[in-house]
Structure 1
Amino acid sequence: MLTIGVSAAVAAVTAPLVPSSAHAAGPQIIDLGVLPGTTSSVATDLNEHGVIVGNSSGNSASRAVRWKNGTMTDLGTLGGPTASATAINNNGWIVGNSNVDDYGTRHGFLWRPGQPMLDLDSLGSDSFAADINDAGVVIGQYYDSELGFRGFRWENGVMTTIENQAGGPDPDLRRFIPKQITGSGLIVGESQGQAARWVDGTVTLVGVPGAYCGGANAAGEVTASASLPTERAFVWRADGTTRTLQMPSGTTRAWPTSINADGDAVGYGTSGHGTISRPVYWSETGVAHSLPSLVPDGHSVAVRVNNASKVIGWSHAADGTTRAVLWSA
């Protein structure tokens, strides 16, 4: 594994992001840098210890990386040229996907400190790991040549298909694409064209056609976005009710991607027919706060927020490349 030092500012960030009058200067954005030989990077997840994962790419190759204590580490691959990390749990276990050969086949992987990268295999051809909880349960999707993408749950070396069993014999109606798993084992994702929860084989739909699923917290709250009957972003509570997230100023649609234990959410708003994206932090009351970009009016997306209200994502730099970033007070 290649390890390099990154800015000391990254290691020094311990204060949570709390957009309020107590922080007159507002939240700060920190460029997490790139691996040598690459030009762009993206942060995809962080755990409660502030360890961040994502990828660094350039020259048609992507590498899975971890940022920890000011050091960026290349996690390696499953044998092919590229890999990307998608999630990390509080034990430091990381999942993602990697080429297994030079011919493009990709499998989900599990990376654990001090151990070789583990191939999660597939129930079809390619597989893609999306998330992992602290119990080591991994969720994601695999590709079946006849049925298309299907959801999977992996535990202790065994991968099983997860479906919406209420969909009957129609494979499209049975399809459940998982996005996140909580510590209790609740899996959230999308089924039948809308946000959904999966618990022990039972799928509950949000009841809003076209609703996109963002993320979930331990309380079972799920962030979502919909365009019908009007453009709106909301939190779908475990009891089935919803609370509205304010539309960010200057945007026409909002996409909340993550929510923490306090009910604070992050994501982005889009305008200009989706050509411009702005990072957003929503307080638990649903009030939207704008986050800064690396350059004024640059494209940026907030991807995850942890329980300390640290936020990660990506932002376009002045040279047009994409950079993994951390927002902090």
Structure 2
Amino acid sequence: MRTPLLARFAAGLFLAMPLLAAADPRYTVTVLAGPDSRAWDINLSGQVVGANGDNAWLHDGAAYIDLGSGTAFGINDSGQVAGHSGNNGFFYSGGVMTAITGWGFTTARGLNNDGVVVGMAEFEDAENGFVRHAISWQNGVTTDLGTVYGFQSRAYGVNNQGHVVGGSDIGGAPNYPLTPFLYRDGAMSEIAQFPGPWSEATAINDHDQIVGFGNLLPNGPELYPRTAFMWDDGVLTDIGALSGGANSFAYGINNASQVVGWFGNFASERGFLFEHGSFYDLNTLIDPASGWVISEANAINDLGQIAGTACRDGSCHAVRLDLVPAVPEPATWGMLLAGCTLVGWRRRLRTRGALFR
């Protein structure tokens, strides 16, 4: 009796599946802007903002939109954008650009889905002269968020509950060292202390999980090496870096607790993804034949898309990393094909039985 064509096809495909699955990369690389561009943030729709030279831009998923001079740092799920241009922060919504002027020099670094923008503003203090404080801004109203101990602070991220993170001066010289802060319920508090002078929180998700970087003690060629961290309800996790990386910086976290950033020694930076307790070089998750080197990752949305920078042939571009559709595991394919084969055999046997009745 001859082997049915369906069975032979199923067996061949099943044997090939492990090779097909193993060859698939996790991400594809989509270029969003020209040379010397950087991507800073991404929303749930995959829209990305950044800077191309001295120009801020928005990529709405279909087209590149030039927002004029400056840098776009944040975008929310409605497509509203925050950034800075010249000496002022800006808020872009529905094609209208609004300046955030505060007291003096301002910059906007992040925003949430309610249109709350956070950043930093300069003002004159009678005792200390010109100082810079973390601020929030909404509907034309600027709020001074204060400091933890000293007289300077700056905000980088805000979640959809209005909780803000950044770095605050802890007092003393030199260079007014910074410590990571969380602003919540009208008060700013320190979340962690590191031995080096410049440590900051850079992003926060809707579960109040916070990421950033902390300064360590001098180590080898690095005067003050940085290490990426995640803070969760009082528990501080040192994300660290792969072997040989002197520094690591975390810049984005989504609501699935996936963290992105970069690691390296300022001469050979590489983007990373941290999830489920494991640290991955993003360059191991893309097709090596593409020639791209992911040098930094600055944001990740809840769908797992990543905004960052990739370099190839001496040119660096803003990119979005998109997940490749999942391929079922070989075992899953095997069960499905076995089921199809079994169904085919049963139908054939029923047909034969009907012929001899």
Structure 1 and Structure 2 fold alike (TM over 0.5): yes
**What is residue 248 of structure 1 aligned with on the other side?**
242
**Equivalent residue runs for 1:53-64 within 5 Å:** 53-57=49-53, 62-64=54-56
Q: Which of 152, 157, 173 is 1:180 aligned to?
A: 157
Query: Does structure 2 conserve the Cα–Cα contact (< 8 Å) formed by 1:163 and 1:201?
Result: no
Q: TM-score, normalised by structure 1?
A: 0.77
Structure 2 gap segments, 5+ residues each:
1-20, 171-177, 220-225, 324-357
Q: Which of 75, 79, 87 is 1:92 aligned to?
A: 79
Q: Which of 198, 209, 233 is 1:221 aligned to?
A: 209
Query: Does structure 2 conserve the Cα–Cα contact (< 8 Å) formed by 1:248 and 1:254?
Result: no
Cα distance change, pair 53–22 in 1 and its aligned pair in 2 (3 A): farther
Cα distance change, pair 199–314 in 1 and its aligned pair in 2 (3 A): same
Q: Which letter does structure 1 place at the counterpart of 2:179?
A: Q
Greater C-alpha Rg: 2
- Report how far residue 243 of structure 1 moved: 2.8
Q: Which of 24, 28, 37 is 1:41 aligned to?
A: 37
Cα distance change, pair 68–289 in 1 and its aligned pair in 2 (3 A): same
- The answer to whether structure 1 residue 127 and structure 2 residue 106 are counterparts is yes
Q: TM-score, normalised by structure 2?
A: 0.71
Q: Which letter does structure 2 place at the counterpart of 1:306?
A: N
Q: Which letter does structure 2 place at the counterpart of 1:147?
A: F
Question: What root-mean-square deviation, in Å, do the aligned CA atoms of Structure 1 and Structure 2 show?
Answer: 2.4
After TM superposition, the structure 1 stretch with the greater mean CA deviation from structure 2, 298-307 or 254-263, is: 298-307
**What is residue 323 of structure 1 aligned with on the other side?**
317
Cα distance change, pair 128–31 in 1 and its aligned pair in 2 (3 A): same
Query: Does structure 2 conserve the Cα–Cα contact (< 8 Å) formed by 1:246 and 1:287?
Result: no
Query: Does structure 1 conserve the Cα–Cα contact (< 8 Å) formed by 2:271 and 2:282?
Result: yes
Query: Does structure 2 conserve the Cα–Cα contact (< 8 Å) formed by 1:244 and 1:286?
Result: no
- Report how far residue 260 of structure 1 moved: 0.8
C-alpha distance after superposition, 1:124-177 (max 9, x if no partner):
2x211111111111111123362332221112211122112x53xxxxx14221
1-structure distance, mates of 2:263, 2:192: 23
After TM superposition, the structure 1 stretch with the greater mean CA deviation from structure 2, 139-148 or 305-314, is: 139-148
- The answer to whether structure 1 residue 25 and structure 2 residue 25 are counterparts is yes
- The answer to whether structure 1 residue 207 and structure 2 residue 227 are counterparts is no
2-structure distance, mates of 1:277, 1:241: 28
Q: Secondary structure at the match of 1:147?
A: strand
- Identity of matched residues, %: 23
Q: Secondary structure at the match of 2:189?
A: strand
1-structure distance, mates of 2:317, 2:213: 25
Query: Does structure 1 conserve the Cα–Cα contact (< 8 Å) formed by 2:200 and 2:214?
Result: yes
1-structure distance, mates of 2:227, 2:58: 34
- Report how far residue 74 of structure 1 moved: 1.0
Cα distance change, pair 197–291 in 1 and its aligned pair in 2 (3 A): same
Cα distance change, pair 135–56 in 1 and its aligned pair in 2 (3 A): same
Query: Does structure 2 conserve the Cα–Cα contact (< 8 Å) formed by 1:214 and 1:223?
Result: yes
Structure 1 gap segments, 5+ residues each:
1-20, 77-81, 100-105, 168-172
**Total equivalences in the alignment:** 277
- The answer to whether structure 1 residue 142 and structure 2 residue 108 are counterparts is no
- The answer to whether structure 1 residue 278 and structure 2 residue 270 are counterparts is yes
